[in-house]
Amino acid sequence: AVAKIGAAYDKQIKKNLEKGKIDEAGAAKAQEAADAAKARITGTSNWDDIAAADLVIEAISEDPELKKDYFNKMVATCKPDAILATNTSSISITEIATAISTPERFIGMHFFNPVPLMKLVEIINGEKTSEATYEAVKDFCDNGLKKISVKVKDAPGFIVNRVLFAYFLECIHIYEDGIASKEDIDNAIKFGLNHPVAPFKMMDMGGLDTFPHVCESLQTLDSKGAKERFECPKSMLELHAAGKFGMKAGEGWYKY
């Protein structure tokens, strides 16, 4: 994982140089900063290595029970005052927090792909998250990571995924209704709405393995027609069943 992070940084610098976004001097400076950042990253598979951490951010699969199990282990390992955060894109923060005895130090921190380029972090308070926990995480995001944070009430999909999945699903419906091919839908959105990344390509980038889970979560929204509005389409379920999870699997809506 650490090697992949380093390779991603190197690839981005090379791409920016080729596109003329930076010159040779800028590339050298960016590489120096990237190397310094990589040197600060340590990989481990030992739970004891997080014992002294002030903040632990979990980013495993979108499975509530699996997340609860991990946070049980974290509570047994981490300091009593360590802040515990989940990077879930749709699961209830309050629900996951039931796995620990100190829910006041539990919070949601939803980052966006690709994380080095995307500025936003949704900070989601659970029902029992303390104001001190929120303020510490906000300071970490805004001043430590130099990102833009938004405060969100704990609700399925939060802000971005609630809007984004309505958009994704409508694109899939257009495809399933035979109105246009996925390639033409992508071109229409990219060049008609000036989106930098087209919808089917974006779904593949984000990973299709979590897509049905997010749909299920959004269907629980307390709003009229949510169950029908956010039902996962048949074509997406077929890709998911076949293990075609997007770029990371070599195939999703497109082949890579």
Residues with a known catalytic role: 110
In DSSP terms, 85 is beta-bridged to 57, 107
Rounded CA-CA distance 149/156 in Å is 18
Contacts of 26 (CB under 8 A, 6+ apart): 16, 17
